[in-house]
Amino acid sequence: MMNMQLTPEMARWIVPVSIFIGGIILSLWVIYIGSLWLIFHKAGRSGWLIFIPIVNILVLLRIAGRPMWYLLLLLIPLVNIIVAIMIWLDLARIFGKSTLFGLGLLFFNWIFVVILAFGQAEYQHDLRKKSKVDEFKPLNIRPT
């Protein structure tokens, strides 16, 4: 086995390289969050919702036209892969993109989310599948 020792020459480069790599990762994260923010905004949702765990997934399900109970399916191993495929394909469809674009969202998410957010794609309400929650109309009860 090789015995690697940290030389003074190597130690001098650790901090600058770490800062550089950390800066790149932070920049990519900010771009991704900003892209999701724009996608939510295009769909008429508040961008702030992407910062709330679980709620951001529920909003993404709502935008894609899937029922909220799909969140439970995302917790089941192997089933979550199929559900994720369905969600990303529906998201592509709802923004007027092809199935191939949906597969791009699935496999190259970081790139295609940015394309979807900053491109000309528009949210198409009429393509969204209606759920029972959408059909719910509260009773019109007035106090007597």
Say what the pLDDT of residue 131 is.
54
pLDDT of 62 = 92
Q: Which residues of 104-139 are buried (b: 16+ CB within 10 A; e: fewer)?
A: bbbeeeeebbbebbeeebebeeeebeeeeeeeeeee
Q: If the chain, 144 residues long, is cut into consecutive pieces of 10 residues, what is the mean pLDDT of each piece? A: 75 88 96 95 92 93 92 94 94 94 93 94 74 53 53
Output the pLDDT for position 63.
Answer: 92
What was the pLDDT predicted at 8? 80
Give the pLDDT score at 5: 80
Q: Residue 35: which of 89, 110, 92, 128 has the closest Cα? A: 110
CA distance 101 to 97: 6
**What per-residue confidence (pLDDT) applies to 2?**
67
- The pLDDT of residue 137 is 55
Write down the pLDDT at residue 7: 80
Tokens of 11: 């130690």
Residue 125 has a pLDDT of: 75
pLDDT for position 35: 95
Report how far residue 31's alpha carbon sits from residue 34's, in angstroms, rounded to the nearest whole number: 5
- pLDDT value, residue 58: 94
Largest CA distance in the chain: 86
Whole-angstrom Cα distance, residue 124 to residue 93? Answer: 9
| pLDDT the model gives residue 102 | 93
Distance CA(54)–CA(35), nearest Å, equals 18
> How much is the pLDDT for 127?
62
